[in-house]
Amino acid sequence: MQTVLSAVLPDVPRAAAIWLSLLAVVAVTIAALLLRPGRLRFDAGARIHRAAMPSELERAAEVRELSRYAGEVAVAADRAAATAHRLRTEWLTAQEAVESAWTAYEEAEADVRRLTAAAALPPPRTVRTPAEYAERERFLHRAALAAYWRRELSVEQLSAVFAHQDGWDPRLHPVEQELVLRRAVRDNLAARHRAAREREQSAWRAAERAAEAARALREEAYAATRRRPEEQSSVLALIGGPEPEQTREIPAVAPKGAVARGRAAVPAY
């Protein structure tokens, strides 16, 4: 017994010190829990949310991707603006062509009215000989060719004149031939004005579409430069957050004939 006591007693102070240390640690832990109970609380929702959020490397990659996208959209917006400017210039040129064609048509119409009034008088009598008919034919050809070089007649009309078709009669008096020629010129200029008007309308629609595309790209480029990675939605929804309140209310129905408010998808002109 003395041998056992002599072997155990020297270790009692050491064991007592270890137990006292353990009791001190337990006491400090209990005191910390009592003073700040939420410090050591396990919040699964917060931890899962932090794990689901992108890391710093992923955030930096998103910033670079957004910067690259904003640059590409800005370049596309510049190109669209240049295209819109070019199409607007073409539309202005087409509009000037319409005005020139209308002016030429009005002058031709005035000539037709003047010659119509002159044709109401009886034409001077001339001797109807082969030489007279040959001279009338030469007059018609010269007048038609001069009108063609002034771009008042088309090549088809000039061919009809030399072929004596479509009402072109070289035996008519020069006054009557001039009236027929002026009417043909008026009809040709009227058709040219209609074609110029159609081209002007087509150029206007193309310019409007290009301008709308340029505006949309400029807005997208501006929004892309202000966009931040924080605006991107997280991979997982927040766990433990307040759930939206569900109701059984029936949504209000707009009255018949009401117009929806907001920006239209396609601008109306």
Radius of gyration of the chain (CA): 47
Q: Is the pLDDT of residue 255 over 80?
A: no
How far is the C-alpha of 256 from the C-alpha of 213, rounded, in Å? Answer: 33
Place of tokens 């010190």: 17
How far is the C-alpha of 236 from the C-alpha of 120, rounded, in Å? Answer: 93
How far is the C-alpha of 62 from the C-alpha of 182, rounded, in Å? Answer: 72
Instruction: For residues 253-267, give the mean pLDDT.
Output: 37
Place of tokens 């041998």: 3
Q: Is the pLDDT of residue 244 over 50?
A: no
How far is the C-alpha of 99 from the C-alpha of 54, rounded, in Å? Answer: 63
Cβ distance 29 to 22 under 8 Å?
no
Write down the mean pLDDT value for the chain.
74
- Which of the two residues, 46 and 190, has the higher pLDDT score? 190
Look up the pTM and report it.
0.54
Cβ distance 236 to 52 under 8 Å?
yes
How far is the C-alpha of 238 from the C-alpha of 232, rounded, in Å? Answer: 14
Q: Is the pLDDT of residue 1 over 90?
A: no
- Which of the two residues, 257 and 111, has the higher pLDDT score? 111
Q: Is the pLDDT of residue 24 over 70?
A: yes
Q: Which one-letter DSSP state was computed for residue 229?
A: G
Give residue 253's pLDDT.
37
pLDDT one-digit tens code per residue, 227-241: 766 544 444 444 444
Give residue 226's pLDDT.
78
How far is the C-alpha of 97 from the C-alpha of 107, rounded, in Å? Answer: 15
Q: What is the 3-class SS of 42-94, one letter each residue?
A: CCHHHHHHHHHCCCHHHHHHHHHHHHHHHHHHHHHHHHHHHHHHHHHHHHHHH
pLDDT one-digit tens code per residue, 40-61: 555 555 556 555 566 677 777 7
- Which of the two residues, 29 and 78, has the higher pLDDT score? 78
